[in-house]
Chains A and B, each alone.
Chain A
């Protein structure tokens, strides 16, 4: 078996080195710039260039680093490994603008040691949205998934249906859980805390950068027939698999935004994320099914509120959308 050796050459930077990043790779050689050799901290930055009236302007501005430099290479052949280090020992300058005196190195130490490969951390399984559900899930879980998929298609005290048209849900418990998913507690409804919990989690996961909008969807690219959409969802409310498939392939739901403050997140993604989160937590046994009910193993905090938006702005924006709609839809909404 070949024995691999790690060859290290360290030096001190006498003048700032111009480099785009503090870690560079030249062939088999790694060059790392550090603040101090013992601590391996990130190096200090300095901006080199020609000063014109107190400002540096491109192309006369360069990012430079100062500190120490460590050149490393791993090789099983001794002469070849030493020869590569020797090339660097011969150099007095690194980086660009050498002729102006930048990147001067004073070499300090040379070291040889047996190379030990650091075992990499096991890769975590990537969270993916399923392209179909199938029918292998328990019926109680399927009922929960339906509740998750339908929760934004009903009017609540916080907001109206996100497709403006309320879907008539036949199952009473699901309807109650969906209509009150912004209320903190309801007695006698097992689905309500779970719907509320996954709604919060999915919203939290998607909300990274805010992007304000006043419209629920991009009406410039054509109007969406929400009445038809509501009927399509209504027809599939008894089958989890069909409903999931419909949401997955729906172009209209991709255009509808889930929140006015985070307008880059679509309603389709939000619903699919909720369902997939519930399934993964079922497999991880965070979500369990007993004879009577479905329940979460971890405690659900009731203090966090998913919709942290101003109620008035939402109502105003939705009313604005209603006024620009046809009279038939207005009637249907009121």
Chain B
């Protein structure tokens, strides 16, 4: 039974350690109608503390970083939108880009090869970044601890004291790990472009209130790794093991390959 129930997978991934002083990736349900909340994943304890949230928007940051980087090098890539104009006729597509997926399959651009579109699946998979409040003293494996808090945006009129602004925004601060799995073996050019786009990510702001100082990210570590993950069943319980190996040499070569 043990032999039969054994699976393993070997793949490459990029592990990034990110730090943010303040970011507002609120994309959850609107609690009480006036709070932009984070996306709740589950609540293991059932109480107020210990709620697990899913951080969203990191894939979008990488998308924009790729676009900006390609524009600097005068390479035409896919825009994030697949529409030319809005319903009112305002142009959506800036110069130097083409519509998302329009290059496929004849002259597929480098961004489309990596990120895909509705026409083709992406070769890059973002692992979910699940966070929880750092108020929890216990050691946990299923989530990363960051500072979680709420900013109250309230403004009153001078004379009548009526509120002109009354809403709340959840924000996060601290360090967390982001893992990007590569679903295919990529050539050096593609991998180089992906790594350089990751290095360009701090130039793009993440989440809401970007012009008010929120959403700045700092990259602390970027590692290219080869991971072997195995799963077996012993006495009915599933046991998962993971071994990783850093690929420093390959990473240096790859960074030189794409200019």
Contacts and interface: CB of A to CB of B under 8 A. Distances in A.
Contact of B130 (A15, A46, A54): A15
B127 A101 contact: yes
Interface in A36-53: 44, 46-51
A177 to B, nearest CB: 58
Nearest to B25: A51
B156 interface: no
A99 B26 contact: no
Interface string A84-104: 011001100100001111101
B127 to A, nearest CB: 6
Contact of A14 (B9, B142, B237): B142
Q: At the interface, is chain A mostly helix, strand, loop or mixed? A: strand
Contact of A13 (B42, B56, B237): B42
Interface stretch (A21-29, A108-116, A273-281): A108-116
A82 B3 CA distance: 11
B29 A104 contact: no
Interface in A7-27: 9, 11, 13-16
Contacts of B127: 101, 104
B233 interface: yes
Interface string B37-81: 001111000000000001010010000000000000000000000
A162 interface: no
Interface string A61-87: 000001100000000000100100110
Interface stretch (B13-21, B97-105, B118-126, B190-198): B118-126
Given A98-B125, A101-B128, A108 B36 contact: no
A107 interface: yes
Contacts of A46: 28-29, 39-41
A106 B129 CA distance: 14
A50 B5 contact: no
B157 interface: no
Given A90-B9, A106-B240, 11 more contacts: A13-B42, A15-B130, A44-B42, A46-B41, A54-B36, A79-B4, A89-B233, A100-B56, A101-B126, A102-B128, A106-B142
